[in-house]
Amino acid sequence: MEQEKLVDQKTGRKCYLDFPSDLSDGEEVTFIMNLHGGGSVGAWQREYFPAYDYADAYQLVIATPSAATKEPTRYWAAEADDEYLADLVEAVVERFGAGNIRSFWLIGHSQGGITSNRLLSTNQYFADRVDGWLSLSGGRLGLPAERAANAGPPRSEAERARMEELFARRRIFEPPPPPTADFSFIYATGEHEIASLPENSPWAERYGAESRVRMADVVDTQPGKIHDGRFDENPTKSWGREPAPGTSQVYVFPNAKDGRVIADVVRLDKGHTEGLEPRITEELIKLMVSAPGGKLRTGETRLGADTVPG
């Protein structure tokens, strides 16, 4: 795996870029944009979902940026980030060639997942180009998974009320309208974040998929790389504890139209912030690369993108 930082010349913002170390001219890649959650940064997200570990094995190009807005917490906002994120796409297209990008996926944790949904719902640039979305505790399309009663950071009631008021005022976690674009969709969540996982999927029904099938559990003997250490003195199962080995349940909705991948993953005995373990990370990547692609190849590139390696 090779790593660089992309530097946006207009803003000075930097983005991690990971790509295969042995990439030859003309080889196809899967492009992933890996978006962190509210209060986080790209460096943390890169370890939370460490797709870079599989860049060589699955020919991945992974861009992991950081949001610009920092108050009341760092979060993605349309006016501050959408043009920048589109410029990152253009930089990757220029670097690797649109014809060599077999598929383009958004990955978003928490508010990064809500942002992925918003980009697909309200931003035509991304709606025209994205082939798939992996939501890491960032919302389930069509029929949401009911949240656990104690979901959220382990704050006092006063702190929770204050943050919820600020978030509502700035619409940080406001769900966007349902997307009309076509793409594959994978939802992954920790068991302790939700009260239950629906058996049905309107997104699967949209593409004529069959009833869900439970695949073999994915057993990880190694922990993930990272967690939210701010609450180590008062951890909760729903928010997440220190990384540990684990088991994940994988459900797929087979035979969706045009081969689209639609799946749900539940990481047992996990919460919101434990970094993904190596085997379930790889399993999710396998699902992603098995899905159809090609939308980025047909989308018109924008002129004047100023993001370059640095």
Residue type present at position 310: G
User: 170 falls in which pLDDT band (50, 70, 90)?
Assistant: low
Helix/strand/coil for 75: strand
User: Can you list the alpha helix ranges (DSSP code H) found in the chain?
Assistant: 42-48, 55-58, 78-96, 111-122, 124-127, 157-170, 202-206, 278-290, 295-298
The helix or strand, by DSSP H or E, that contains position 102, with its residue range, turns out to be: strand 101-109
Residue type present at position 43: A
Task: Say yes or no to pLDDT of 275 above 80.
Answer: yes
β-pair type (29-35, 60-64): parallel
Task: Say yes or no to pLDDT of 306 above 50.
Answer: no
Residue type present at position 300: E
User: 281 falls in which pLDDT band (50, 70, 90)?
Assistant: very high
pLDDT tens digit sequence for 98-128 = 999 999 999 999 999 999 999 999 999 999 9
What does the block give as tokens for 136? 């890491």
What does the block give as tokens for 252? 């797929």
CA dist 258 and 30 (Å) reads 18
Q: Which domains does the chain have, with CATH numbers?
A: 2-309 (3.40.50)
Residues in CB range of 34: below 8 A, 6 or more apart: 42, 45, 46, 49, 51, 62, 63, 64, 107
For residues 68-74, average pLDDT: 87
